[in-house]
Copies of this chain bind each other. A is one copy, B any other.
Amino acid sequence: MEAGIFFQRVEWVPSYATAAAANPADLEAAELQAMAEFRAFAASLGMTARVVSTANRPRVVVFVSKESHCFHDLVLRWRAGEFAGDLVAVVSNHPNLREAAEGYGLDYHHIPVTADTKAAAEAQQLALLERLDADLVVLARYMQVLSADFLGQFAKPVINIHHSFLPAFAGGKPYHQAHARGVKIIGATAHYATRDLDEGPIIHQDVTRVTHRHGVDDLIRIGRDLEKRVLAQAVRWHLNARVLAYGNKTVVFD
């Protein structure tokens, strides 16, 4: 970045964590004390420090609509141990993925959203997120725009996957737009949701080559692979405390 700011990320294993025979309560106390000491040390140097313990696993709520590929992908990665956090529930404006979610043992909350009921639906979602003590919302191809009000009240990170290489093809039907323009590469972008749609800090992007032989349906199919891995990588980095939003950008310690 060019703001004269120095960013650094350090990960360490404290000696008390590897000591034998510690009981959990002692460990937690040692951890809290160590974190407080580091914060004080950082402050004494004039640094701003965010200190997190990997013992604390963030609670993740996944929002979906009808498309299932990102949803299955996130769940299977979580079950494979790829995430330093836990999926605690699924929220959807449609009933379609209930069976799949419950098959994975996940609670499914169907909260329909129409133009008329949007405010009420968001209130319901916020109450649910509070009850679930959610630390992160992941929009896994959730096809509703969250209002600025919702984002302000939730006040915790929301990660969205947009199915284009932003800022190209912002807005709706990006694969149709890409096909109409005749691009030779398509992309996907994971970003923090902000009140300006498709304008939040970008966490991760990736692309794939396409040709004139690919129709819109091919782009949609090929794009699913991109969306899955770009969203999963962004969620993974976020849960590992490897992403730092700064202004409208991110610093990613990959």
Contact = CB atoms under 8 A, between A and B. Distances in A.
Contacts of A84: none
Contacts of A202: 181-184
B76 A250 contact: no
A225 B82 CA distance: 12
A69 B78 CA distance: 12
A122 interface: no
Interface band, chain A: 35 or more
A182 B212 contact: no
A157 B216 CA distance: 28
Contacts of A211: 252, 254
A184 B205 contact: yes
Interface of A: 1-2, 7, 68-69, 72, 76, 80, 82, 103, 165-169, 181-185, 187, 201-207, 211-213, 215-216, 221, 224-225, 229, 248-252, 254
